[in-house]
Structure 1
Amino acid sequence: MSALNAYTALVFLIALERLAELVTARRHAAWSARHGAVEHGRGHYPVMVGLHTALLAGCLLETGLGHRPFVPPLGWPMLALAVAAQALRWWCITTLGPRWNTRVIVVPGLPLVTGGPYRWLRHPNYVAVIVEGAALPLVHSNWITATCFTLLNLPLLATRVRCEDAALASAPPPADMPVSAAP
């Protein structure tokens, strides 16, 4: 298999992973709705979906149109980082369980999750997004896609983190928790 075909297969595998995320998110959204969840930040969600779709398309387009080569000293470490980003993402999904979503959906009364990767980082899933956004394109020397995604993603992530933090802060505490002890 040529490097180009292997890279195309990798990008399609990532696309399938994204579809698995959407299926998981839809199932989790239904669980959250049954538990009185409130969705926040609907306005930035379509932009996020578009940007992540453009990342995958950009990887394929830049490789083909830009005749980008696979450069082993760059490509192999970037592949390792892209795979590590997927592992971190699914660790986040597993740790949050039905509370994980691609949207900002908060079930009132649930405490913050402090296990798994959340033991060390407040937003570990976004670390995965940042790493993947740079590493996946650079597996095949797609520096334009890596740069554009990163520059466009930074303000979007800033908006997303502010939205999530505000949503989590505004969730009422559980009924049996004193207001002063709320997360």
Structure 2
Amino acid sequence: MTLAIAVLVFVTVQRLIELVIARSNTAFLLRRGAYEVGRRHYPLLVVLHASWLAALWWFGWRASVNLTLFALFMVMQVLRVWVLATLGRRWTTRIIVLPGAPLVTNGPFRFLRHPNYCVVIAEIALLPLAFGLPWVALLFSILNALVLWIRMTAENRALGDNGVSHA
């Protein structure tokens, strides 16, 4: 197995595990009286991330991996885990508002309001660049910026109204 394939397997498995965790956490929060905000844009997020991963598999499986850029990507994975661990059961891939819940202000949230989005922005650029695919990095960075603009508008509105428990 090449390093590129190993990296792609790692990222794919990681994302699938995160989807299972997110679904469980969403159900947990909904049972406690939470509600979803921004449901209409969620399919865009799913298509964007699935397409990014598919493009990486399609064009990058035989690539030589730039170890410096890959190391930076792995730093983002550590930061991703920090965000998820800080949020615990409050982390989901959706915008879930739990009325009365205080905003999370510890961990990376001491420094940024949306640390997970910073991680995702970096990941979407770094991994294709590590595979020598600058056009994939550029295309998906632009698409991600558009989707994040929609998402963050909805999330910031929700954060202003209530405590929200979301990355």
Q: TM > 0.5 between the two?
A: yes
Match of 1:110 among 83, 101, 105: 101
- Code of the residue aligned with 1:50 in structure 2: it is V
Residue 177 of structure 1: aligned partner:
none
Question: How far apart are residue 70 of structure 1 and its match?
Answer: 2.2
TM-score scaled by structure 2? 0.92
Residue 145 of structure 1: aligned partner:
136
Is 1:82 the counterpart of 2:73? The answer is yes
Is 1:94 the counterpart of 2:85? The answer is yes
Residue 39 of structure 1: aligned partner:
36
Question: How far apart are residue 60 of structure 1 and its match?
Answer: 2.1
Give CA deviations for 1:75-133 in whole Å, capped at 9, x if unaligned.
11210121111111111111011111000001000111100000000000001101100
Q: Distance in 1 between matches of 2:18 and 2:12?
A: 10
Question: How far apart are residue 62 of structure 1 and its match?
Answer: 2.0
Is 1:70 the counterpart of 2:64? The answer is yes
Residue 158 of structure 2: aligned partner:
167
Give CA deviations for 1:144-165 in whole Å, capped at 9, x if unaligned.
1111110111011111111111
Identity %: 44
Equivalent residue pairs, number: 163
1:99–1:106 CA contact under 8 A, matched in 2: no
Residue 132 of structure 1: aligned partner:
123
Q: Which has the larger radius of gyration?
A: 1
SS at match of 1:105: strand
Gaps of 5+ in 2: none
Is 1:26 the counterpart of 2:19? The answer is no
Bigger RCO of structures 1 and 2 (CA < 8 A, at least 6 apart): 2
SS at match of 2:3: helix
Q: Distance in 2 between matches of 1:93 and 1:143?
A: 28
1:7–1:140 CA contact under 8 A, matched in 2: yes
